C-alpha cells in the first residue's frame, strides 16, 4: 500500500514482489479509507455541497427497526 500511495505502478509492484501477473498483486492492494475518500472527493457532482451524507432520524429509526 505504501508503494501504491507513493505513486508506484501496479506492474512494478508486481515485479518487485515476484508475482507472475498484476492480477495476483491486486489482492494485496486494497484501498485505504483515506484513498477512497480522496477518490470520492474527485467525483462530486457540480454545484453540490461537499461533505458526508447524514441520514435523517426517520431513516435511522427505520434501519434500527430491521
DSSP for the chain?
-HHHHTT--HHHHHHHHT-SSHHHHHTT-PPPHHHHHHHHHTTPPTT---S-----HHHHHHHHH-
pTM attached to this predicted model: 0.42
Q: How many domains does the chain have?
A: 1
- Whether 19 is covered by a domain: the verdict is yes
- Whether 46 is covered by a domain: the verdict is no
- Whether 43 is covered by a domain: the verdict is no
What's the half-sphere exposure (Cβ side, CA atoms, 13 Å) at 1?
9
Q: Which residue has the higher pLDDT, 62 or 54?
A: 62
- Whether 62 is covered by a domain: the verdict is no
| The predicted structure's pLDDT at residue 65 | 95
Quick check: 26 and 10 in contact, CB under 8 A? yes
**What tens digit of pLDDT does each residue of 1-34 get?**
778 778 888 888 888 888 888 888 877 777 777 7
The residue range of the domain holding 16 is 1-33
- Whether 61 is covered by a domain: the verdict is no
pLDDT band at 63 (very low <50, low <70, confident <90, very high): very high
- Whether 7 is covered by a domain: the verdict is yes
- Whether 44 is covered by a domain: the verdict is no
- Whether 22 is covered by a domain: the verdict is yes
On the question of pLDDT at 52 being above 80, the answer is no
Amino acid at each position: 500500500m505504501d508503494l501504491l500511495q507513493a505513486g508506484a505502478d501496479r506492474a512494478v509492484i508486481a515485479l518487485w514482489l515476484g508475482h507472475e501477473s498484476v492480477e495476483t498483486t491486486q489482492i494485496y492492494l486494497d484501498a485505504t479509507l483515506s484513498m477512497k475518500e480522496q477518490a470520492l472527493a474527485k467525483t462530486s457532482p457540480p454545484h453540490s455541497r461537499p461533505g458526508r451524507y447524514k441520514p435523517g432520524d426517520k431513516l435511522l429509526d427505520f434501519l434500527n427497526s430491521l
